[in-house]
Structures are given as structure tokens and as C-alpha cells.
């Protein structure tokens, strides 16, 4: 198939034409997407199903996954703008004879750094909504104004009100590192959201979205009927694009790109159902035609990196964390499990789950190569204490692996460890643990997006690290010794027959024993045997 040179003009060729549309880069309103001819992945069937099944909903999803667009779709549905839904699933399933008033509140714009900033934002938004319905504020405080606005709009229009809240948690997250300020902001929001419980008689539908999931006690006290659909398999693809969406809706954009590479880099976010792509990264790829960590680059997770280092997280474990449902769902200003933060922010996603009576256990993983490579690159910068150092080493590592230059690999890692300032070791408690040395070693390979297998099981034990690359198998064993190399690491690989697992592949197998010395803070042994 061919692509017309100008997507707005017919092709002169007899071959089938893939009609290209405008990419909805950064667009969060359904009206603009439909009226200006952008690509649109139809989520309206999910919207109709939600309205038919319930009244109060909560959804947690990572940033830039499409939450705001879905809320806008709900807004257009309830306001009865039928012309926007021609040809979409909702067109024949929605009662267009009834229109409902919609109150939409968003905290997504800018940084709300204090209670005063939050108060100003609420004042501006409530004033705008009051003017929309020709009303004047009767109370000075935001809680009373919001409560009265709901009841007065319902009485004025003769219809119950729809309330949509976007980025409900962002004011707290903006100050999550300053716990006292974050707590004060939380109390203001808790007061606002309590209005929903008291206004039930005037409400038709309520939908709140955000990145994190704060406990009901801390933020939604009394709102016990809030249906959390974050881990409901039916709504796993409520935001984001599925593989089928990419192959159908975005088919005109695929020629010239490696389809499997697109999957490996941008697909993989999962909430117990269909996996999805992050729309932001995928649309940037279609625009720039180059594989890059577009989503990750829009928000460096500095708070997350600090938290992982403070808790001395063994970074190779990040791609295989096991957590309970309660742990993934628990989040508050003074109680932030690393697992919950990694999952809710989109740096880890669900790989598998195991059901037990009364509880579920989840195994997490990196959603895709974009997150794996970029997060480990970011971790390396913090682990070594010098943000600009790892980049050149990572590029060099790839060349050495391709050339199977093991002497060069040893020199590369030795030079890297040697370049880390001793003062940084002294200040960083993590550097005193064995896992620190292995974490750096692992993160280098992970930052390249290579096929890594941690604690790879065999009949005689577990291989510390297996790397499959360029038709080669690399088996790594790590040991920490006092000062001089002992040859224990390589000997263990041979004694336990770790290579037997991979002999049937018919590829060269490299056994690599690496020994670290705490005294010299560097590699003292690096032995290689190729089978």
C-alpha cells in the first residue's frame, strides 16, 4: 500500500490509499479532534457503559495517558453534542433527547505550591462555572460555594448535575516533598470532595481522575460509594491505545517504521486487561519518526529517584517486584510505599497476578523499553553522583558488546567505578552495600534496552544475570571479595553448569565472573571463558 503525498488530496495511483489524518498532539478536547480531522481512537462505548452501570467513579492512571480527553468525552456526551459522535459507538447507544449540566474542575494547569495557590485556583474555577449558569456566589469559602453551585444548577436546569474532576491529586503531588504543606493542601481538597457525599440527591454522575490513589480515609472520607475502576480488567484500556488501535486507526503512520520495535518501546501498560500504549510517546514517534523516550523526558522523576536511594532499593529488583493489592493502593503524604509510587506513576505495570482467598498478589515489571532504558539511565546518574557521567559510558558499552571486547568491558567498568568521587561514597549509605555495585552494573545494560534475565533459574541454581544480545549469550556471576580476586565467580558458573540451559540455542556462550572489592571500591576480578 502507498501513502498519498498530500493526505488531503486523492492519489493518482491505482494502489489503495492510506488516508493520513492530523496527529492529535497535545489535544485534550474531543470537539477539536473531531471537527479538525485528527485521528481518534473511539472510547465512547466505555463511557456509555460506565454511565449505565453506576454513578460514582474513580480512576488512577499515569500522566499523559489520556485521562483529560476521556473526561472531555464524558462532558460532550452529557451535554448532548450529538454531532461530535457521528459514526462512533455512542451515537446509537446514547439518549440524545436529554441534556445534563456539567461542572468540570481541573488542577492540571501549573503548579499549586500552597494553600493560597489552591484557594485562588478554586476561586477562579468556581467563578467561571457560576458565570456559565448566570449565578452569583453566595458564600466566601470554596466548600460552601461548590455545594451551593451543585444544588442551584440542578434546580435551575431541572436536571441532576454531572461533576468531573481532572488531576484531583496534583496539588498534593506538587508539594509531596514538603510534607507539611502537602498535608495542608490535602485538608483543603478533602473539604471540597466531601461536598459530593452531601450532594447525592443533586448528582447524576461523578468521575474523578488522577495519577495517584490516596486512601479514602485521607481524602474521600465518607464517600464510601466511590467505585475505583483502576484495577478493573474491563477498563484496562479506558485510556491509551491498544495494539489493534495502532494497526487500524494509525495504519497510515506505520509504513517506514519497525512495527515490533514500536511494541517493544511504547506498548505494555496493563491494569489486568488489555495492554495499551502511552498516547504521548506514540504520537511523538509518528511525528518525529524516531525512537526516543518521549514520555519519560516530559517529567524527570526526581522525587522517585530520591526515595529509591533513601530506601536503598536494589535496582535490579525493580523489574520483578511482588506486591499486594493493598500496597499498590496505599498512598498518602506520610506513607509512600515505593511500589505504589512506581506503579501509579507509570514506571512499573502489572505483569501477572495470583489470586488467593481474600487477596491478590501482583508481580510488576517495566511496561516497555522506553521506561526501562530511561529510568535506569536516570538511576545511574544518581547512583554515581555525577549526572553527566553515564552517557558516554553507555554508548561505549554497546560498541564493546557488539565487538565482544571483554578486555574493553573490564576497562570501561573499572574506569567508571574509579571516576566516582570518594566523597560521594562517604555520603551515600547505599554505596556501603554489595547491591550497590551490582545495581550500577545492571543499570548500564538495562539503560541500553537489552534482553536481561535476573537470577535466571537453572537446575543447579540461579545465574545472577543473563544477557542475550546479538546472537550471543552472556552469563554473569558477581562476588564481593576483601581485596584480591579469588576466581570464585567464574568457578561457580562452571561448577554449577549454568551454561547447559543455553547450549541448545547453538550460540556462543560467554561465562563472565566479576569480583568487586569494597576496599578499593572497584572491580578487581573480571574473568571470561567462551564456550
pLDDT at 255 over 60: yes
For residues 317 and 392, membership in a common domain is answered with no
For residues 361 and 392, membership in a common domain is answered with no
pLDDT given at position 15: 42
pLDDT given at position 288: 97
For residues 371 and 442, membership in a common domain is answered with no
For residues 198 and 211, membership in a common domain is answered with yes
Quickly state the pLDDT bin for 216 (edges 50, 70, 90). Answer: low
CA distances from 55 to 47, 201, 209 (A): 12, 12, 14
pLDDT at 282 over 60: yes
243 belongs to a structural domain: no
Residues of the domain holding 273: 254-383
Domain boundary among 197, 230, 263: 230
User: pLDDT digits over 441-462, tens only?
Assistant: 888 889 998 888 888 999 889 9
235 belongs to a structural domain: no
For residues 223 and 277, membership in a common domain is answered with no
pLDDT given at position 21: 95
Closest by alpha carbon to 22, among 259, 77, 35, 245? Answer: 35
- How many C-beta atoms lie closer than 10 Å to residue 497's C-beta? 13
Report the distance separating Cα 184 and Cα 206, nearest Å. 25
CATH of the domain at 466: 3.40.1350
- Please report, rounded to a whole number, the percentage of residues in the chain having pLDDT higher than 70: 92
For residues 335 and 389, membership in a common domain is answered with no
Q: Is the dihedral of CA 315, 321, 326, 329 positive or negative?
A: positive
User: pLDDT digits over 121-173, tens only?
Assistant: 999 999 999 999 999 988 999 999 999 999 999 999 999 999 999 999 999 99
Collapsing DSSP to helix, strand or coil, 419 comes out as helix
Q: What is the mean pLDDT of the chain?
A: 89
User: pLDDT digits over 463-484, tens only?
Assistant: 999 999 999 999 999 988 887 7
Domain boundary among 363, 383, 403: 383
For residue 172, how many C-alpha atoms fall within 13 Å in the half-sphere facing its CB? 22
pLDDT given at position 301: 82
For residues 135 and 171, membership in a common domain is answered with yes
Q: Exposure string (b/e) for 104-131, b if CB count within 10 Å is 16 or more? A: bbbbeeeebebeebbeebbeebbeebbe
4 belongs to a structural domain: no
For residues 157 and 223, membership in a common domain is answered with yes
User: pLDDT digits over 333-346, tens only?
Assistant: 888 888 888 999 99
For residues 374 and 446, membership in a common domain is answered with no
State the average pLDDT over residues 178-199. Answer: 93
Q: Residue length, the chain? A: 531
pTM here? 0.89
7 belongs to a structural domain: no
pLDDT given at position 223: 77
162 belongs to a structural domain: yes
Quickly state the pLDDT bin for 518 (edges 50, 70, 90). Answer: confident
122 belongs to a structural domain: yes
For residues 167 and 302, membership in a common domain is answered with no
User: pLDDT digits over 87-116, tens only?
Assistant: 999 999 999 999 999 999 999 887 888 999
CATH of the domain at 61: 3.40.50
For residues 321 and 451, membership in a common domain is answered with no
Number of folded domains that form the chain: 3
Report the distance separating Cα 144 and Cα 201, nearest Å. 16
Task: Considering only residues 118 and 319, tell me which one the structure prediction assigns the higher pLDDT.
Answer: 118
175 belongs to a structural domain: yes
60 belongs to a structural domain: yes
For residues 389 and 379, membership in a common domain is answered with no
Domain boundary among 335, 365, 383: 383
For residue 449, report the phi and psi dihedrals to the nearest 5 degrees.
70, 35
What is the rounded end-to-end Cα distance, in angstroms, of the chain? 46
Amino acid at each position: 500500500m502507498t501513502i498519498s503525498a498530500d493526505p488531503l488530496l486523492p492519489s493518482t495511483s491505482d494502489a489503495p490509499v492510506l488516508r493520513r489524518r492530523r496527529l492529535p498532539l497535545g489535544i485534550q478536547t474531543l470537539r477539536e479532534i473531531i471537527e479538525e480531522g485528527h485521528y481518534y481512537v473511539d472510547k465512547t462505548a466505555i463511557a456509555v457503559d460506565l454511565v449505565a452501570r453506576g454513578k460514582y467513579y474513580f480512576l488512577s492512571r499515569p500522566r499523559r495517558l489520556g485521562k483529560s480527553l476521556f473526561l472531555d468525552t464524558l462532558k460532550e456526551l452529557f451535554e448532548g453534542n450529538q454531532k461530535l459522535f457521528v459514526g462512533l459507538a455512542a451515537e446509537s447507544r446514547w439518549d440524545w433527547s436529554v441534556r445534563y449540566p456539567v461542572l468540570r474542575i481541573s488542577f492540571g494547569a501549573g503548579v499549586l505550591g500552597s494553600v493560597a495557590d489552591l484557594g485562588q485556583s478554586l476561586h477562579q474555577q468556581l467563578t467561571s462555572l457560576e458565570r456559565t449558569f448566570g449565578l452569583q456566589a453566595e458564600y466566601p469559602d470554596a466548600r460552601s460555594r461548590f455545594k451551593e453551585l451543585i444544588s442551584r444548577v440542578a434546580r435551575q436546569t431541572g436536571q441532576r448535575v454531572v461533576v468531573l474532576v481532572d488531576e484531583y491529586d496534583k496539588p498534593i503531588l506538587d508539594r509531596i516533598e514538603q510534607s507539611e504543606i502537602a498535608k495542608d493542601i490535602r485538608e483543603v481538597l478533602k473539604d471540597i470532595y466531601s461536598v459530593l457525599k452531601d450532594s447525592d440527591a443533586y448528582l447524576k454522575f461523578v468521575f474523578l481522575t488522577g495519577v495517584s490513589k490516596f486512601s479514602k480515609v485521607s481524602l474521600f472520607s465518607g464517600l464510601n460509594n466511590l467505585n475505583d475502576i483502576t484495577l478493573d480488567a474491563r477498563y484496562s484500556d479506558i485510556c491509551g491505545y491498544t495494539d489493534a488501535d495502532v494497526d487500524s486507526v494509525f495504519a497510515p503512520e506505520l509504513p517506514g517504521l519497525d512495527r515490533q520495535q514500536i511494541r517493544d518501546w511504547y506498548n505494555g501498560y496493563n491494569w489486568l486487561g488489555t495492554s495499551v500504549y502511552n498516547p504521548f510517546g506514540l504520537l511523538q514517534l509518528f511525528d518525529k519518526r524516531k525512537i526516543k523516550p518521549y514520555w519519560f523526558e516530559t517529567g524527570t522523576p526526581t522525587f522517585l529517584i530520591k526515595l529509591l536511594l533513601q530506601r536503598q532499593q536494589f535496582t535490579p529488583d525493580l523489574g520483578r517486584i511482588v506486591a499486594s493489592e493493598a500496597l499498590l493502593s496505599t498512598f498518602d503524604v506520610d506513607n509512600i510505599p515505593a511500589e505504589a509510587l512506581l506503579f501509579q506513576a507509570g514506571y512499573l505495570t502489572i505483569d501477572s497476578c495470583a489470586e488467593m482467598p481474600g487477596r491478590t498478589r501482583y508481580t510488576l515489571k517495566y511496561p516497555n523499553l522506553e521506561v526501562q532504558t530511561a529510568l535506569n539511565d536516570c538511576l545511574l546518574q544518581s547512583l554515581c553522583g555525577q549526572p553527566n557521567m553515564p552517557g558516554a559510558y553507555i554508548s561505549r558499552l554497546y560498541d564493546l558488546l557488539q565487538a565482544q571486547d571483554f578486555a574493553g568491558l573490564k576497562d570501561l567498568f573499572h574506569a567508571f567505578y574509579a571516576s566516582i568521587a570518594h566523597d560521594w561514597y562517604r555520603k551515600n549509605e547505599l554505596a556501603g552495600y554489595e547491591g550497590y555495585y551490582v545495581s550500577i552494573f545492571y543499570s548500564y545494560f538495562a539503560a541500553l534496552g537489552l534482553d536481561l534475565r535476573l537470577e535466571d533459574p537453572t537446575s543447579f541454581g540461579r545465574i545472577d544475570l543473563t544477557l542475550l544480545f546479538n546472537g550471543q549469550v552472556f552469563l554473569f556471576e558477581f562476588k564481593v571479595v576483601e581485596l584480591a580476586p579469588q576466581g570464585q565467580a567464574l568457578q561457580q558458573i562452571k561448577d554449577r553448569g549454568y551454561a547447559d540451559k543455553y547450549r541448545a540455542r547453538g550460540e556462543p556462550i560467554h561465562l563472565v565472573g566479576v569480583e568487586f572489592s569494597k576496599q578499593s571500591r572497584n572491580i578487581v576480578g573480571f574473568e571470561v571463558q567462551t564456550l
